[in-house]
Structures are given as structure tokens and as C-alpha cells.
Amino acid sequence: MKNTKSVHTIIHAAASSAACVGAGLAQLPGADMPVIAGIQTTMIITIANKFGAELSEAAAMDMLLTATASYGGRALSQYLVGWIPGWGNSINASTAFALTEAVGWAAEHHFSSNDKQYSST
């Protein structure tokens, strides 16, 4: 599989960025979701490009919405404990990291499975 190391770096960097945003905005319920969605959308587009696929922002957002039905669970955990300093920051950071990793690996799997379709040869 081509681009494996760089795709892994993209996924981990995006997940780390999402965790920082989740931790930093924990006490403001919902404030981190648009920022994290932007990070995840950019990650999906970048992964697609690594496999030679052209992906619009709208298509990436569609993939993101399909892949993240679990945002409901994240929103619930943020509502229940996100406002607690320390605990809320840790929980928000870890859920943002885990969801971004999951979305990244799903995108990597999608584009690597269809690698021949995107190749220019």
C-alpha cells in the first residue's frame, strides 16, 4: 500500500489537533464541534489526495457525516461531564481524539480499497 506512513501521520496529527480543541473548549458545550469537523474534513481531503482522489469539501463533509453518527454520544458526554474542569477537558480531549482517529482510519480504508480507481496509471 502506498503512502501508508504519511497517511498515518496525517491521521495522528489531525486527532491530536482535535484533542487539543476538545480539551480547550470543554466548558463551552458544542463550541468545539465546528472546529473539530473542520479538522476532520481537511483530514479526509488530504487522505483522498494521498491516494490520487480529488474530493470536494462537500463530498468530504458528506463522508464525515456518514462516518460520525457517534457525535450524539460525544455530545451527551460533553453535556454530562464536559463542564467539570479537569475531568471534562480530559473526556472531551479523548473522545475528540478517538472519533477523529476512527474517521481517519475509515477514510484510509475507503481510499486504499479503491486505490486502483484513483491511480493515474
* pLDDT tens string 76-119: 666 666 667 787 788 888 888 998 999 999 899 988 887 656 54
Section 61-81 average pLDDT: 66
Task: Name, in order, each residue with C-beta under 8 angstroms of 82's C-beta and a sequence gap of 6 or more.
Answer: 26, 27, 29, 88, 91, 92
Per-range mean pLDDT, top range of 9-18, 57-66, 70-79: 9-18
**What pLDDT sits at residue 121?**
40
Statement: residue 41 has pLDDT above 50: yes
Non-local CB neighbours of 95 within 8 Å, separated by 6+ positions: 22, 73, 74, 77, 78
Give the per-residue pLDDT at 54: 84
**What's the pLDDT score for residue 86?**
80
**In the chain, where the domains are located:** 4-114
The mean of the pLDDT values for the chain is 81
